[in-house]
Amino acid sequence: MADIEIRTKGSAGRITLNRPDALNALTREMCGEIKSALDAWQTDPAVAHVLIDAAGERAFCAGGDIAEMYRTGTADDYTYGRQFWAEEYRLNAQIFNYPKPIISFLQGFTMGGGVGVGCHGTHRIVGASSRIAMPECGIGLVPDVGGSLMLALAPGRLGEYLALTSARMDAADAIYAGFADLNIDEALWPDLIARLESGAAPDILTEAATPPGPSALQAQQAQIDRHFGGERLSDIRTSLSHEPDAFTRDAEKRMARNSPLSMACAIDIIHRLRGPSISMAKALDLEYRFTFRAMEHGDFLEGIRAAIIDKDRTPHWQFAKGDVPAVTVSKMLMPLGKDALELEEAVMSKGKIGFIGLGNMGAPMAQNLARAGYDVIGFDTVVETVPDLTIAASAAAAVAGADVVITMLPNGAILRQVVDDTLQHVKPGALLLDCSTVDVESARAVAAQAEAAGMLYVDAPVSGGIGGAAAGTLTFMAGGSAKAFAAAEPLFEIMGQKAVHCGEAGAGQAAKICNNMILGATMIATCEAFALADKLGLDRQKMFDVVSTSSGYSWSMNAYCPAPGVGPQSPADNGYVPGFAAELMLKDLGLSQQAAEAVNADTPMGAQALALYRTFVEEEDGAGQDFSAMLPRFAARERS
Ligand code: NAD
């Protein structure tokens, strides 16, 4: 029987790890075969998604096959190990950046190399038997295969705790820590796999998932943060020893088994990653600096000897007594120069975008980004599928690991709630780009919150409607720092035709509400003029032909004509299904009057437009209609 089975079945690329007697440990050959298959499927239109599972009940994959590394390493040949690690890390990056959904089914143990194959895809499924861990410090390595990225992104100091104690996570813990997405009864897995092979979309997984119950790690978070927040290994040890209780004793016992040098380096890697430029590429680069030196200067060969070869479980670690000098940690993690890990550009996507709010505007904007090569993970409380996007089970899952988070939501209160709920899951240094139309105060509050958390923030409401969103011709009015605006520019270029940097945070919203105050007034003026024209016996088409090329022209007339069958396609041609909902216009006019009040500006037309849209939405039949449905309203009325 082959160690790995690779085939396509229906619309799925299928990979099954098949070394159950060795807990499906990854060999170099298996990594190579997975990589070749992913290369081929990446552009194969017949493959919609990739499913990775494993034979046997005990493990998805308990790690990498390190016997050959030991044999060559003890003969002073470090090349084999270095090449294996580099190939494996390139595979991990490929899985992380893959342009199609990768779904993994993680029964039993998923550890080390197994995490690299099973925990970087888009849908990571766990069940009652799942046990996920990064126990590398126990064999003289550091958490690698991209695991350091997830550790750096885990809540609070959980990453340090998991790295230093090798603690095993059950399904609830793994989801809490960001190593898994969905808890599904393992009895359902074979049927779900069969349905995914037959063309079902990955959404069926979300439907089959159930809450995993409470996470023990989450319950311990306060203790973890208190004791594992230290700058160095010695700080953490001191904190643990000063407060003896069941938690600290257990942590000390676990840490006593591990290589001090590995633990000190793991802490340093996690801390370095938490800076502004966190990325998978950076995580793998740092990990490789350690593993490249692990046989020659680290504890790796001794760790393998004690655990696997002699099985005496009494490794003789360096720095077994006393502290690990900072200079030794630095030396292990120095850049490698010409030996540095090279990731293949071709397999890297342009970056990961979490997109929250996939309504009339958000969905086409997100699709344009996905088509331009971004890995877009969307979330909406109502919308369940959007072509080209991966839909996450929660907003938190959509933003986890993203380089950019984009919001396109109905109002400031919802925006604030979404940011409150997700900010802790967003990686530091990421760009938060809010394209919704919200009040200036909410924009400034969210900007301050995001910046305090180490992120870049731009408020960039749009103009151009659903047509502009679909065509990628929106105008963005942006507020934020020059640095944040520069970071957002490549995205504006894809979603729009123009972006104006209006000033500091909130300036984009200020421009937007002024623009929409004009829009509300001109739409009303256009609609009442059509209703008057009707009563004067003027044909609507003739009215359009004249006004659209005369001084009465406006966007409302020329691009979004409220009269059905006249002018370019608009919601009027579709029974006034929004488009831009009348409620949203009411919201924007309310924002403009709120702002005018705050700065004592006289805006009588805006106030009148607000009053009319309020009556239309709240007392007439305007709710649920496009804002251009003012035309049938006026047409049906008489002068009062
Ligand atoms: P929409 O109502 O179609 O979309 C908003 C989406 O947000 C909905 O799908 C809704 O389910 C989702 N949502 C609500 N709460 C959520 C939450 N907590 N988490 C995740 N998703 C949530 O509205 P739209 O027309 O797409 O407008 C979006 C924003 O863009 C608004 O602020 C609007 O003022 C602005 N805007 C709209 C237009 C337009 O022509 N439609 C033009 C310019 C600006």
- Pocket lining: 495 vs ligand 1, CB cutoff 6 Å: no
User: Which DSSP state fits 324?
Assistant: P
Last residue of a domain, one of 337, 370, 397: 337
Q: CA 284 to CA 90: how far, in whole Å?
A: 9
CA–centroid distance, 453 to ligand 1, in Å, is 25
User: Could you tell me which residues come within 8 angstroms of residue 157 by beta carbon, excluding any fewer than 6 positions away?
Assistant: 224, 225, 227, 228, 229
Q: Are 374 and 472 within one domain?
A: yes
The CATH number for 492's domain is 3.40.50.720
User: Strand pairing partners for 545?
Assistant: none
Question: In this structure, which residue's CA is closest to atom 9 in ligand 1?
Answer: 359
The CATH number for 43's domain is 3.90.226.10
Q: CA 450 to CA 457: how far, in whole Å?
A: 6
CA–centroid distance, 378 to ligand 1, in Å, is 13
| Per-residue pLDDT at 277 | 64
CA–centroid distance, 217 to ligand 1, in Å, is 35
- Pocket lining: 383 vs ligand 1, CB cutoff 6 Å: yes
- What is the number of the ligand 1 atom nearest to the C-alpha of 356? 20
Question: In this structure, which residue's CA is closest to atom 17 in ligand 1?
Answer: 381
Q: CA 476 to CA 511: how far, in whole Å?
A: 10
CA–centroid distance, 419 to ligand 1, in Å, is 15
Let me know if residue 355 belongs to a domain.
yes
Are 13 and 37 in contact by the 8 Å Cβ rule? The answer is: yes
Distances (CA, A) of 350 to 218, 373, 449, 512, 567: 33, 6, 27, 29, 39
Burial class (CB in 10 A: 0-12, 13-18, 19+), 330: exposed
- Pocket lining: 419 vs ligand 1, CB cutoff 6 Å: no
CA–centroid distance, 437 to ligand 1, in Å, is 9
Q: Are 293 and 191 within one domain?
A: yes
Let me know if residue 343 belongs to a domain.
no
Q: Are 54 and 171 within one domain?
A: yes
Q: Are 410 and 516 within one domain?
A: no
Q: Which of 355, 356, 360, 462 to mutate to test the pocket of ligand 1 (most atoms within 8 A of CB)?
A: 360
User: Strand pairing partners for 57?
Assistant: none
The CATH number for 607's domain is 1.10.1040.10
- pTM score, two decimals? 0.55
Q: CA 61 to CA 109: how far, in whole Å?
A: 6
Question: In this structure, which residue's CA is closest to atom 42 in ligand 1?
Answer: 465
CA–centroid distance, 360 to ligand 1, in Å, is 7
Q: CA 426 to CA 418: how far, in whole Å?
A: 12
- Count how many domains the chain has: 3
Q: How many CB atoms are closer than 10 A to CB 561?
A: 27
Q: Are 379 and 467 within one domain?
A: yes
Let me know if residue 470 belongs to a domain.
yes
Is-catalytic flag, 352? no
Are 135 and 111 in contact by the 8 Å Cβ rule? The answer is: yes
Distances (CA, A) of 234 to 134, 151, 329: 21, 20, 13
Q: Are 330 and 357 within one domain?
A: no
Q: Are 28 and 109 within one domain?
A: yes
- Pocket lining: 215 vs ligand 1, CB cutoff 6 Å: no
- Terminus-to-terminus CA distance in the chain, angstroms? 86
Last residue of a domain, one of 337, 356, 377: 337
Q: Which of 365, 377, 380, 592 to mutate to test the pocket of ligand 1 (most atoms within 8 A of CB)?
A: 380
Let me know if residue 130 belongs to a domain.
yes
Q: Are 605 and 531 within one domain?
A: yes
Q: Are 262 and 411 within one domain?
A: no
Question: In this structure, which residue's CA is closest to atom 29 in ligand 1?
Answer: 436
Distances (CA, A) of 598 to 22, 506, 511, 595, 607: 69, 14, 15, 5, 14
- Pocket lining: 362 vs ligand 1, CB cutoff 6 Å: yes
Q: Are 426 and 526 within one domain?
A: no
Q: CA 422 to CA 396: how far, in whole Å?
A: 5
- Give 10-residue mean pLDDT values along the chain (640 residues): 92 97 94 95 92 97 90 94 96 94 97 97 97 97 97 97 98 97 98 96 96 97 97 95 96 97 97 80 94 96 94 95 87 84 63 95 94 90 93 94 95 97 91 96 95 94 90 90 90 86 96 96 98 97 94 93 94 95 96 94 98 97 96 95
Nearest to 172 by CA among 129, 226, 138, 216: 216
Let me know if residue 572 belongs to a domain.
yes
- Pocket lining: 398 vs ligand 1, CB cutoff 6 Å: no
Q: Are 138 and 43 within one domain?
A: yes
CA–centroid distance, 581 to ligand 1, in Å, is 10
Last residue of a domain, one of 294, 313, 337: 337
Q: CA 269 to CA 251: how far, in whole Å?
A: 20
Phi and psi at 418, nearest 5°, equal: -60, -40
Q: CA 28 to CA 90: how far, in whole Å?
A: 12
CA–centroid distance, 530 to ligand 1, in Å, is 29
Question: In this structure, which residue's CA is closest to atom 2 in ligand 1?
Answer: 359
Catalytic residue among 100, 352, 427, 512: 512
Let me know if residue 499 belongs to a domain.
yes
CA–centroid distance, 407 to ligand 1, in Å, is 9
Q: CA 257 to CA 113: how far, in whole Å?
A: 20
Q: Are 320 and 358 within one domain?
A: no
H/E stretch holding 316: none
Let me know if residue 342 belongs to a domain.
no
Question: In this structure, which residue's CA is closest to atom 34 in ligand 1?
Answer: 437
Q: Which of 574, 584, 613 to mutate to test the pocket of ligand 1 (most atoms within 8 A of CB)?
A: 584
- Pocket lining: 522 vs ligand 1, CB cutoff 6 Å: no
H/E stretch holding 231: none
Nearest to 401 by CA among 92, 165, 52, 111: 92
| Per-residue pLDDT at 388 | 87
Let me know if residue 318 belongs to a domain.
yes
| Per-residue pLDDT at 347 | 38
Question: In this structure, which residue's CA is closest to atom 41 in ligand 1?
Answer: 580
Domain of 122 in residue numbering reads as: 4-337
